[in-house]
Amino acid sequence: MKKALNILFAIVCAIAMTAGVQAQEFKGKIGKTLTDSEEYWPEPVRPPEGAPNVLVWLIDDMGYGHSSAFGGLTPMPTIDRLAENGLRYNNFHTTALCSPSRAAIAAGRNHHNIGMGSHSLTAMGFPGYNAHPPESAKGFGDILKRAGWSTMFIGKWDHTPQWESTFAGPFDRWPSGDGWEHFYGFMSGDMNNFNPIMWMDQTPMQPNYDKPGYHVNEDMADTAIRWISMLRASAQKKPFVMFWATGAVHAPHQAPREWIEQFKGKFDMGYDKAREMILANQIQMGIVPKGTKLSPRDPEIPAWDTLNDQEKALYARQMEAFAGQLTYSDYEFGRILDYLERIGELDNTLVLFTSDNGGSAEGGLHGTFNENGFFNGVPNIPYEVNSQYMNQWGNRVGVWHVTAGWTQAGNTPFQYYKQSAHRGGNADPLVISWPKGIDKKYHGQIRTQYSHIIDIAPTILEAAGVEAPNVIDGIEQMPFDGVPMNYSFEDPKAEDRRTVQYYELFGNRGIYADGWTAVTLHRGKRPWVLNAEGTVDDDVWELYNLKEDFSQSNNVADKYPEKLTELKALFEKEAEENNVYPLDGDIGPRLAKMQAIAAPQDKELIYYPPAAIRVHESASPPVKNKSHEFIAEVNMPEDGDDGMLVTAGGRTAGYALFVKNGRLHYVYNYIGIERTMLTSSELVPAGKSTLSMTFTKTGNFEGDAEIFINGESVGKTHLSKTVPATFSIEETFDVGEDTGSPVIEDVYALPFRSEALQKLTVKIDKN
């Protein structure tokens, strides 16, 4: 009996551990009967008395000078309000790219130290780049969960290896594997705001179906409020930590039309004048030191005054859509803060707002209606193509991206962009508000201490009163690379505690030490070009004294060669210690190699409905630049059955084989620039049939597409261009249904399901 009770107690302890209760020594008494026994229950883990909630808004691709809180021309009243009740940090830095920053902010370690040296889409089989953060680097979400907080993640989760972003998992590198008990968001670099491909934990969702006027930002804010309300109904005093990560303002720049229209004409002055206006605001606000110079306009970008009226109108419209999305996102985040204020919890909520990197120039010199062109090595889609979408810019049909000229304006006062080791790539706004934890007399002030995104996790833990454990689940934890920033909350003149920080991304490198920074561009000054230009040995290092030159406008490498040599040696040391090597700046080949590694290796793949959906493109049949065949076995009812047989991608690029109005159709979308639709000359008969499409490669990335009904050819066409790299970084491969966006607009409505499809076979010529 005693042995059985001990086993039972062990089971209770095991259950308790999963419910936030630590296993403890049994302190009761076990007799032969209940009468001579004393019960004992393990004490649940409880946060420290008065522990704060934590709310992080990590916005995407927002530059240093975009927001009104940092002198920008786009009003963000919620962030303005947050800053007035907290602190602005004007010397804060990130990794300059989404995946690495998102992993680093959670883990509190340098991105190469946790295998996130680049985007997960461009992972490499080296410790610094394998997109596999180790179990020894658990982040603040996991730590606070074990300390008694409820943990919630909403929005963009973008650092799981692409081949693991499917229903099959594994889920170790999903939010649930990193300590987040609740997850509602998307597993990709971007998504369409009007019809996003979402997940609720590990279950695929399509929340926009049957919801006119749907926008993901409203959905995410509603979810945040609902989850907080549900938590309070179940545990009124349990603190929460919530990570709220919008797709905004990464492309596509989409917002409800009324939010875009309020900016009509507001950017007609052009990006050159806008840079001057933003810098003047920043100096007046004290965001940048007096005397800060405006860094030179990127020589690749034409002066605004040299553009013709049509170009000016289009580029101004691009910025109107960007601003509409930004201020609309601010509004939705404000609803969360309003709810916390309503329930009396805003004062004791540590709120942090920042961006994952500087503004993105991946839209190229003209902006783009389809950012997927960048990933396929087709930058700078010409004005003549983009201008066709002038009146649609910002709606559901494009992957809209502003021109690099507006991006540099958003990064004022700095030069360059996301991806670079210069401050335009890695210097970002940071606002921290915690009325109960930061004395009111400091509210609205600016902090100038040098800090980095890896400092966020230890800052949160110190504010929460929780020490990071040395061992988690039997695994010794890596020490934080981050330094808590709490020392600066109530001491504006505190000495910097971060005195050294390295940077590296796609071969672009930098090192900061005690006010000096040395930087070099490996991928060149054009981040809209997919691959690097030249070799690492060709890279030219620059030197800046940030104490005298906040905007990195005066390269003093020739004046202080010894300092440059010293800093380059320091970079080598930091690089060796943080798994930075080997360096590589060629995004295209890495992306293609990852797709090839992740793709199924079989020559024949079979799929059965009804739910053969949401397969990440990298794990789908590898049909690009290969002869292949789709064979659909259907049982068509007498009255017909319109529906999807197989599709991959969507508006960005892709293909689809489907039945519509009794005929078989095959559509190929080449980066939204050219769509080819093949329609059968015969009707699909009732009853059992075989419907197929063969693609025969006739050249590099071109070939013939032919469709068949029961083996008889019913249509043929030539595809002169096919997609080389990726159909989308968001859309998936689906059989029997289209769960994303259509590859051809207004031909079929979503959801577009086939009840007649019984089986789909894909045959691939590997030669």
Share of the chain above pLDDT 70, in %: 97
Q: Are residues 356 and 252 in the same domain?
A: yes
Q: Are residues 493 and 567 in the same domain?
A: no
Q: Are residues 452 and 509 in the same domain?
A: no
Q: Are residues 340 and 254 in the same domain?
A: yes
Share of the chain above pLDDT 90, in %: 87
Closest CA to 325 of 421, 475, 190: 190
Q: Positive or negative CA dihedral for 351, 195, 205, 335? A: positive
Is residue 7 one of the residues assigned to a domain? Answer: yes
Residue 13 has pLDDT above 70, yes or no: no
Q: Report the pLDDT value the prediction gives residue 163, as an integer from 0 to 100.
A: 84
72, amino acid identity: G
Say which range, 301-310, 349-358, 593-602, 694-703, has the weakest mean pLDDT.
593-602
For 409-456, how does the pLDDT look when each residue is reduced to its tens digit (9 = 90+)? 999 999 999 999 999 999 999 999 999 999 999 999 999 999 999 999
SS3 385: helix
Is residue 471 one of the residues assigned to a domain? Answer: yes
Q: Are residues 468 and 510 in the same domain?
A: no
Q: Which residues pair with 643 in a beta bridge?
A: 659
Please give the order of strands across the beta sheet that includes 541-545.
500-505, 508-513, 516-520, 541-545
Q: Are residues 490 and 531 in the same domain?
A: no
Which residues lie closer than 8 Å to 538 by C-beta, 6 or more apart? Answer: none
Give the integer Cα–Cα distance in Å for 101 and 426: 10
Domain boundary (483, 502, 521) is at 502
Q: Which tokens is 134 given?
A: 């180790």
Q: Are residues 429 and 535 in the same domain?
A: no
189, amino acid identity: G
Q: Going by DSSP bridges, is the β-strand pair 427-433/757-764 parallel, antiparallel, or unpaired?
A: unpaired
Please, are residues 65 and 412 in contact by the beta-carbon 8 Å criterion?
A: yes
Q: Report the pLDDT value the prediction gives residue 212, as an integer from 0 to 100.
A: 87
| CATH code, domain with 569 | 3.30.1120.10
Indicate the pLDDT class of residue 493, thresholds 50, 70 and 90. very high
Mapped to the 3 state alphabet, what secondary structure does 631-657 carry? EEEEEECCCCCCEEEEEEECCCCEEEE
Of 504-518, 588-602, 734-748, which has the strongest mean pLDDT?
504-518
Q: How many domains does the chain have?
A: 4
pLDDT, mean over the chain: 94
Please, are residues 739 and 388 in contact by the beta-carbon 8 Å criterion?
A: no
Residue 481 has pLDDT above 50, yes or no: yes
Give the integer Cα–Cα distance in Å for 220 and 198: 11
Say how many C-beta atoms besides its own lie within 10 A of residue 19's C-beta: 9
Is residue 168 one of the residues assigned to a domain? Answer: yes
Q: Which residues pair with 476 in a beta bridge?
A: 471
Is residue 36 one of the residues assigned to a domain? Answer: yes
Q: Are residues 61 and 21 in the same domain?
A: no
Q: Report the pLDDT value the prediction gives residue 23, as an integer from 0 to 100.
A: 59
Q: Quote the domain boundaries for residue 655.
A: 600-764
Q: Report the pLDDT value the prediction gives residue 767, as an integer from 0 to 100.
A: 60
- In terms of Cβ atoms closer than 10 Å to its own Cβ (0-12, 13-18, 19+), residue 201 is middle
SS3 739: coil
Residue 495 has pLDDT above 60, yes or no: yes
Give the integer Cα–Cα distance in Å for 478 and 133: 11
Is residue 595 one of the residues assigned to a domain? Answer: no
For 378-398, how does the pLDDT look when each residue is reduced to its tens digit (9 = 90+)? 888 989 999 999 999 999 999
Burial 429-459 (b: 16+ CB within 10 A, else e): bbbbbbbebbeeeeeeebbbbbbbbbbbbbb
SS3 332: helix
Q: What is the largest CA-CA distance in the chain?
A: 94
| CATH code, domain with 757 | 2.60.120.200
H helices present in 692-745, as ranges: none
Contacts 24+ apart (CB under 8 A), 442-446: 442/87, 442/489, 442/490, 442/492, 443/84, 443/85, 443/86, 443/87, 444/83, 444/84, 444/85, 444/86, 445/87, 445/88, 445/492, 446/87, 446/88, 446/89, 446/90, 446/286, 446/287, 446/492
DSSP character for 563?
A: H
Indicate the pLDDT class of residue 5, thresholds 50, 70 and 90. very low
pTM over 0.85: yes
For 323-378, how does the pLDDT look when each residue is reduced to its tens digit (9 = 90+)? 999 999 999 999 999 999 999 999 999 999 999 999 999 999 999 999 999 989 88
Say which range, 22-36, 149-163, 619-633, has the weakest mean pLDDT.
22-36
Q: Going by DSSP bridges, is the β-strand pair 451-452/86-93 parallel, antiparallel, or unpaired?
A: parallel
DSSP character for 750?
A: S
For 170-205, how does the pLDDT look when each residue is reduced to its tens digit (9 = 90+)? 999 999 999 999 999 999 999 999 999 999 999 999
| CATH code, domain with 126 | 3.40.720.10
Is residue 722 one of the residues assigned to a domain? Answer: yes
Q: Report the pLDDT value the prediction gives residue 97, as an integer from 0 to 100.
A: 97
DSSP character for 85?
A: T
Is there a cis peptide before residue 610, judged by omega within 30 degrees of 0? yes
For 200-258, how does the pLDDT look when each residue is reduced to its tens digit (9 = 90+)? 999 999 898 778 899 999 999 999 999 999 999 999 999 999 999 999 999 999 999 99
Indicate the pLDDT class of residue 135, thresholds 50, 70 and 90. very high
Domain boundary (502, 517, 544) is at 502
Work out the angle at residue 138's Cα, subtended by the Cα atoms of residues 137 and 142, and round it to the nearest 5 degrees. 175
SS3 95: coil
Give the integer Cα–Cα distance in Å for 366 and 301: 9
Cα–Cα distances in Å, from 164 out to 76, 131, 323, 619? 36, 11, 34, 9
Q: On the CB side of 376, how many CA atoms lie within 13 Å of its CA?
A: 24
Q: Are residues 136 and 206 in the same domain?
A: yes
Q: Are residues 156 and 298 in the same domain?
A: yes
Residue 533 has pLDDT above 80, yes or no: no
Q: Which residues pair with 704 in a beta bridge?
A: 696, 718
Please, are residues 377 and 260 in contact by the beta-carbon 8 Å criterion?
A: no
- In terms of Cβ atoms closer than 10 Å to its own Cβ (0-12, 13-18, 19+), residue 1 is exposed
324, amino acid identity: G
Q: Are residues 405 and 458 in the same domain?
A: yes
Domain boundary (458, 475, 502) is at 502
Q: Which residues pair with 667 in a beta bridge?
A: 656, 677
Burial 391-411 (b: 16+ CB within 10 A, else e): eebbbbbbbbbbbbbbbbbbb
Q: Which residues pair with 184 in a beta bridge?
A: 154, 200
Residue 621 has pLDDT above 90, yes or no: yes
- In terms of Cβ atoms closer than 10 Å to its own Cβ (0-12, 13-18, 19+), residue 548 is exposed
Residue 17 has pLDDT above 70, yes or no: no
SS3 533: coil
Is residue 204 one of the residues assigned to a domain? Answer: yes
Is residue 81 one of the residues assigned to a domain? Answer: yes
Give the integer Cα–Cα distance in Å for 88 and 285: 11
Q: Are residues 527 and 605 in the same domain?
A: no
For 78-96, how does the pLDDT look when each residue is reduced to its tens digit (9 = 90+)? 999 999 999 999 999 999 9
